[in-house]
Each structure stands twice: as structure tokens, then as C-alpha cells.
Amino acid sequence: AVAMRPELDANGNVILDANGQPVLRTHKKGVQDFQFGRTLGEGSYSTVLLAKDRQTGHEYAIKVLDKRHIIKEKKVKYVNIEKDTLNRLNNHPGVVRLYYTFQDERSLYFVLDFASAGELLGVLKKMTTFDEECTRYYGAQVLDTIEYMHSRGVIHRDLKPENILLDSHMHTKITDFGTAKILDPPARSRANSNIVPVPDNMTAKGSDRTMSFVGTAEYVSPELLTDKNAGKPTDLWAFGCIIYQLLAGRPPFKAANEYLTFQKIISLEYTFPQGFPPVARDLVERLLVLEPSRRLTIDHVKNHEFFHGIKWGKGLWDQKPPKLR
Ligand code: ADE
């Protein structure tokens, strides 16, 4: 097969030839083009491996998905959602980029950016908590990325510190779009075109194999639990949980089991630890609002005092990371 897609450089820019024409890739990449290394992560349907392009030496993270398992467990739709959303979000520094896909008899392969500093959760655990400066730095990048995703009609629906990776410059890269939703194009005829149904198997009372979604109960928004509806505000609820967690060292809603966690969420039962910065507390209180339409929007959050001094826009991604402390 011949894939006539433009060749991209390491920054994702189209490579041009001497005549200013895009260099088209005629060789379809395959397993044989990479040297596979250590395991970076494991999910229920996939394994992420470090891999090196034999031609360029460039390092990637390759997500390997077992086709038989995916078909048997009826997850084909979610694999397609992941590929479609990654292809749609191919032009932002805060999203893990999908470079190539290919398959062999047994597996599907997604060739992704390698985020060498790993998960934000791991960095947070090592530090126990972040100070306000670190929280502002990582929070601003995540918010800018949510804004980009929403502008491209994608709701992530499973934002959490495990899904926020860090590259060699300590810049955030959001990953794991298997539970994302592509919004319909805005329709004037509908009152709120941002509201989309959540598949039954992703709800709180979904029966058997709902692990990936219900397994991260702590960040689920109340509207997902009560109405099974997710919109843009759903990602902002999770963002509020993440800001809280970076400063407190633990998510706001945490209980002995999922059911009790859900109960806490729908009754907004959480407290701030001693010493939680008041300005951050105000931000979190305006994000962790049960009614989605009353939650802060992205523009409100950008203008909140907590993010005072952040230069929004492209320059955000040239910031040097603050010392972790
Ligand atoms: N773990 C899961 N995905 C990863 C990636 N893209 N880079 C580094 N570690 C990962």
C-alpha cells in the first residue's frame, strides 16, 4: 500500500522539497521500521513501548493493541475514536501526536510522541504536592490544551494526572483519547449542541467491563453520574479536580470504593486541607460546581486571579519550567 501523506519533521511541520512542495511518504511504515525497547505503560487492551525509528533514530512511544482482544471485548468503536480524535488534534504541542498507524496479523500500532518524563501523576507523587507556581505552570498548559481540544470539537472525558504526560522540556502532553467524544458541528437549531450522550457502558451503573472509565471515578463529573451527559463543562470539572490535587496531593473526592466516591461527587462533599492557597481555593470552588452551566468556562479560568501573570497563547509553550518544590 502507498500512503501519500506529507512527511513531518520532529516538530510536526510538513517537510518541503527544494521546490517548496511537500515531501510525500510513499513507503508505508511498519513494525520492521522500528527497534522496540522497554515498556512505558500497560492498559487493559494495549501496551505502550518505547521504539526507535531505524532510519532517523527518532524515539517514539508505540501503542500496541491486540486485535483479537479488542474484537472479543467489543472495543473496536473506542479504538476508532482514539485514532479519529488523535488525527483531528494533530496540531498542538499539548496533545500527544499520532505520526503513523499500521497493523500486522495480531496487532494495531499507533506511533505517538514519546513523553520522556512520564506521567504528571508520577512527578506529583515524588513531590507529594506542588506549590502554587508549579500548579500554575502545569495547569496553564493543560487549560490551553483543553481549549484547543474543545475548539476542534473534542471532549476528552477522562482527564486526570495519569493522562497528562511530560516531555523532555517538562511540557505537558495529554494522551488517552479512547473515551473522547467528537462533538457534532455546532447546530443553531439545537439549544445546546455541546451536550452529547455518553455510551451506556461508560456510566456509573454500567455492568461488567467498564473498568477504564469507572476505574477513575475520582474525576467523573456529577452530570455524567446523574444525566449520563458530557459536554465541555465536563472537562472543566476534571480540571478543577486536577488543580486541587496538584496543591493538596490528593484528589478532592476519594472514598473507600467507587460507589462512595460517586456519592461524594453528587453531593459535592469535599474539604480543603489546612494551608490551601485562598486564590486557588476560589478557582476550585468555581469549577467544582454541580450544575455544568454554572461552572467557569475556559475564558473565565484564564482570567481568574490564580493565573495572573500567565501569558496565554503560543508563548505559553516557550516557558521554562519552575523548579519542582
Ligand atoms: N506511557 C504511555 N504513553 C506514553 C508516551 N506517549 N510517552 C511516554 N510514556 C507513555
pLDDT digits (tens, 9 = 90+) for 56-91: 999 999 999 999 999 999 999 999 999 999 999 998
pLDDT band at 145 (very low <50, low <70, confident <90, very high): very high
Q: How many whole angstroms separate alpha carbon 76 and alpha carbon 72?
A: 9
158 has catalytic annotation? yes
Q: CB-based contacts of 297: which residues, under 8 Å, 6+ apart?
A: 232, 233, 236
* 10-24: average pLDDT: 84
Laid out side by side, the sheet with 59-66 consists of 34-42, 46-53, 59-66, 107-113, 98-103
Q: How many whole angstroms separate alpha carbon 301 and alpha carbon 111?
A: 33
Q: Which residues line ligand 1 (CB under 6 A)?
A: 40-41, 48, 61, 96, 112-115, 118, 165, 175
Distance 248 CA to ligand 1 centre (A): 25
The catalytic position among 113, 144, 158, 235 is 158
pLDDT band at 5 (very low <50, low <70, confident <90, very high): confident
Please work out, in degrees rounded to the nearest 5, the angle formed at the alpha carbon of residue 200 by the alpha carbons of 194 and 201.
Answer: 120
Identify the residue whose C-alpha is closest to ligand 1 atom 8: 115
Residue to probe by mutation, ligand 1, list 165, 171, 173, most atoms within 8 Å of CB: 165
| Whether 41 contacts 96, CB under 8 Å | no
What is residue 158's predicted lDDT score, i.e. its pLDDT?
Answer: 94
